[in-house]
Amino acid sequence: MPASPRTLFDSIWDDHLVIPGSSHDDSSDVLYIDLHLVHEVTSPQAFSILRERGLCLRRPGQTIATMDHSTPTVPPDADGRHAFSDTETAAQVAQLEANCTEFGVPLYPLGHEDRGIVHVMAPELGLVQPGMTIVCGDSHTSTHGAFGALAFGIGSSQVAHVFASQCLLVRRPRTFEIRIEGTLAPGVTAKDVILAVIARIGTEGGVGHVFHYTGSTVRAMSMEERMTLCNMSIEGGARAGLITPDDTTFSYLAGRDFAPRGHAFDEAVSGWRRLASREGAAWDRSVTIDATAVEPMVTFGTNPATGIAVGDPVPDPGGLPTEEERAALRRALEYMALESGRPLAGHRVDVVFIGSCTNSRLSDLRAAARILDGRKVHDRVRMLVVPGSHRVKRAAEDEGLDLVFRNAGAEWREPGCSMCLAMNGDRARPGELVISTSNRNFEGRQGPEARTVLASPMTAAACAITGTITDVRELLQ
């Protein structure tokens, strides 16, 4: 048992503890899951397990499905046919539809007016609420921690466990406070902050932990910024990210489809306030980040911990302590075709991708549009803007953001994961350098031999205009 004072994490865990690990041979706890999010890529094998064992899906009303990973981002043709990249992606999407019908899971299919990337859609609908436990066969489930919910990614076998029992066998992680203090400078966003955090602690720094983001910077952030922060917790090795819910959280939830209404909402808010107030501060680890020192960030390597300020020189492999690390950095720079000692600023850009569950919400599109307004995408740059959901898309169109992007020469697409993982046909060509607002720059993530530089939507827009890696502050007037 943890020592008192408890963290918010402890409160949520204990509130969902059905059977403590000590009561059976495994030392894992049986944890109750309030909400299970499902998409087409990691669920088919789990539905098969139910079928093989003759089981039903225990709580369809606590389960919701969308299609996002392998769906096309070009609009359907005049007959309503969707342009899948191949027969396999089409079959996978059809399989999800059949599985949801067979097992009674509510599904937001292609063509549904509220469909979106799972981690964009669920919060938008008000499904994600403080104090809940939420899982999905997807590592970026950490996004939902922005609401003070304990949310983490699971493998497909565990998807079957939740289908069949609405519970999971899990070991209690430790807590890791990420304290972020100070006001962000113009041109610096939540994305730059999380890239700076991960650069500081490394890709495996958070293994076995849940990040809890605290501090004045976090309190001042909107829900969309908080989601960007929590989204990339997994890139720092953590299972989940968590932010204590406050008035920003409650006012975001007010009036959302699945949020309580009227008197029930007020009651819910008092419960959420009590939950937040139970919080002590007994962290297993803690680190403090000075937000005032964060600059617009870009990654130079092939893992998300390689973020540096856009004007800083790429590090020299010779400066690293072990031969393995030196070799890894040399290999990464060779893959990225970058030299150490020089900044990334000025390097030629081929593709700009604005989208993904990290940065495809309305405020992200507004930030990019503000930079692009009245300007043109550079001749040789191909720019894709992919809103995170149909709601985001409609809201952006209502404000005329689509026109800003189109007039600048960017492609305005249908919602989905798109070039974040390049499994729907949207991908970069070998050797192309992509400025991407997504969360992973692994080798081949955006297409075989494609080179990915992670950045904020503002930085991505600035790079699209100049055709080179650019410090967005130069374009801020």
**Radius of gyration over every alpha carbon of the chain, rounded to an integer in angstroms:** 22
CA dihedral 124, 127, 131, 132 (to 10 degrees): -130
- Kindly state the smallest distance separating residue 49's Cβ from another protein, in Å: 7
Residues 40-79 that bind ligand SF4 (CB under 6 A): 68-69
Which member of 8, 30, 100, 458 binds another protein (CB under 8 A)? 30
* Torsion sign, CA atoms 191, 33, 99, 66: negative
Residues 74-133 that bind another protein (CB under 8 A): 86, 88-89, 91-92, 95, 106, 125, 127, 129, 131-132
Q: What angle do CA 355, 356, 357 make, to 5 degrees?
A: 130
> 117 touches which of another protein, ligand SF4, none (CB within 5 to 8 A by kind)?
ligand SF4
Residues 100-119 that bind ligand SF4 (CB under 6 A): 117, 119
The residue to which tokens 């992007």 are assigned: 405
Residues 356-385 that bind ligand SF4 (CB under 6 A): 356-357
- Choose between 168 and 362: whose C-beta lies nearer to another protein: 168
Note the helical H segments in 246-379.
Answer: 247-253, 262-277, 323-336, 362-372
Residues 397-436 that bind another protein (CB under 8 A): 421-423
Q: How far apart are CA 340 and CA 127, in angstroms?
A: 46
* Torsion sign, CA atoms 117, 120, 124, 126: positive
Kindly state the tokens that stand for 397: 């169109």
Binding mask 338-357 for ligand SF4 (x = CB under 6 A): ------------------xx
237 contacts 205 by C-beta, under 8 angstroms = yes
Kindly state the tokens that stand for 188: 């610096």
Q: How far apart are CA 13 and CA 165, in angstroms?
A: 17
Which member of 71, 248, 439, 459 binds ligand SF4 (CB under 6 A)? 439
Q: How far apart are CA 293 and CA 291, in angstroms?
A: 5
> 282 touches which of ligand SF4, another protein, none (CB within 5 to 8 A by kind)?
none
Identify residue 373 by its one-letter amino acid code: D
Which member of 7, 63, 360, 466 binds another protein (CB under 8 A)? 63
Q: Does 467 bind another protein (CB under 8 A)?
A: no
Q: How far apart are CA 425 and CA 69, in angstroms?
A: 10
Which member of 6, 172, 382, 440 binds another protein (CB under 8 A)? 440
352 contacts 464 by C-beta, under 8 angstroms = yes
The site for ligand SF4, by CB under 6 A, has a size of 13
Q: How far apart are CA 472 and CA 310, in angstroms?
A: 9
Q: Does 140 bind ligand SF4 (CB under 6 A)?
A: yes
- Choose between 140 and 172: whose C-beta lies nearer to ligand SF4: 140
- Choose between 88 and 102: whose C-beta lies nearer to ligand SF4: 88
Residues 244-283 that bind another protein (CB under 8 A): 257-258
- Choose between 302 and 439: whose C-beta lies nearer to ligand SF4: 439
Q: What angle do CA 210, 182, 388 make, to 5 degrees?
A: 55
Q: Does 442 bind another protein (CB under 8 A)?
A: yes
Q: How far apart are CA 60 and CA 94, in angstroms?
A: 19
User: Is residue 318 packed enough to be buried (19+ CB in 10 Å), middle (13-18) or exposed (0-12)?
Assistant: exposed
Residues 409-438 that bind ligand SF4 (CB under 6 A): 417, 420-421, 438
Q: First vs last Cα of the chain: how many Å apart?
A: 54
What are the C-alpha distances in Å from 139 to residues 22, 118, 218, 304, 448?
Answer: 27, 12, 22, 14, 22
- Choose between 154 and 269: whose C-beta lies nearer to ligand SF4: 154
Binding piece for another protein, criterion CB under 8 A, among 31-39, 308-316, 369-377, 386-394 = 31-39
Q: Does 302 bind ligand SF4 (CB under 6 A)?
A: no
> 356 touches which of ligand SF4, another protein, none (CB within 5 to 8 A by kind)?
ligand SF4
Query: By C-alpha distance, which of 392, 385, 394 is closest to 420?
Result: 385
- Choose between 99 and 389: whose C-beta lies nearer to ligand SF4: 389
> 433 touches which of ligand SF4, another protein, none (CB within 5 to 8 A by kind)?
none
Binding piece for another protein, criterion CB under 8 A, among 167-175, 311-319, 340-348, 459-467 = 167-175
Q: Does 391 bind ligand SF4 (CB under 6 A)?
A: no
- Choose between 137 and 388: whose C-beta lies nearer to another protein: 137
> 311 touches which of ligand SF4, another protein, none (CB within 5 to 8 A by kind)?
none
Q: Coil, strand or helix: which one is 196?
A: helix
Rule CB under 6 A: which residues touch ligand SF4?
68-69, 117, 119, 138, 140, 356-357, 417, 420-421, 438-439
